[in-house]
Amino acid sequence: MKFIEGKYKIIKNIKLGGILLVLQEVLDRFALIANLSADEVTPWIEICEDSISEIESNLRENIDQELNSRRLEAAAAGLSFYKYSLYRASGAGMESFSAGELRIKTNSSENVKIAYKVWQEAKNSIYDLLKDNNFVFERIVSS
């Protein structure tokens, strides 16, 4: 799905700290993961932009943009999906739908767990590009 067609002319690239992530690619991947159409993805553009910025702020210096752009874009889409799922689970989205005898209900906590796994998988794919912010130093006390 390319949003470049029709009224969705999203041809904006975001240049951050030497990394050029194509918002179009992030949106396309996010829409695929979240199962959203072009009309449905439009309100979530800012979340994709925020995810790109968040990933960029955690990158190590001297990352090869050409070599890593696909992985970084996939990670930004995964993070966007996680943020989208959190937002939907907070009550801002529809949790159930009824039409006559048909009733569909979603389990928002399960959806968030799945989205978190998607994000963690995407984050693991760029682990070698990220600063090590998860280091914890603890003291061992013997009794």
62 within some domain = yes
Question: What pLDDT was estimated at residue 39?
Answer: 86
6-65 pLDDT, tens digit each: 333 343 444 544 445 688 889 999 999 999 998 899 899 999 999 998 998 888 888 876
96 within some domain = yes
Report the alpha-carbon distance of residue 123 to residue 79 in Å, rounded: 8
Domain that includes residue 70, residue range: 13-129
- Length of the chain equals 143
Report the alpha-carbon distance of residue 48 to residue 46 in Å, rounded: 5
48 within some domain = yes
Question: What pLDDT was estimated at residue 133?
Answer: 72
90 within some domain = yes
65 within some domain = yes
pLDDT, greater one: 57 or 5: 57
Pairing of strands 96-99, 102-105: antiparallel
Report the alpha-carbon distance of residue 112 to residue 37 in Å, rounded: 20
134 within some domain = no
Question: What pLDDT was estimated at residue 6?
Answer: 38
pLDDT band at 98 (very low <50, low <70, confident <90, very high): low
Q: Tell me the CB-side half-sphere exposure of residue 65, using CA atoms within 13 A.
A: 10
Question: What pLDDT was estimated at residue 46?
Answer: 92
Domain count of the fold of the chain = 1
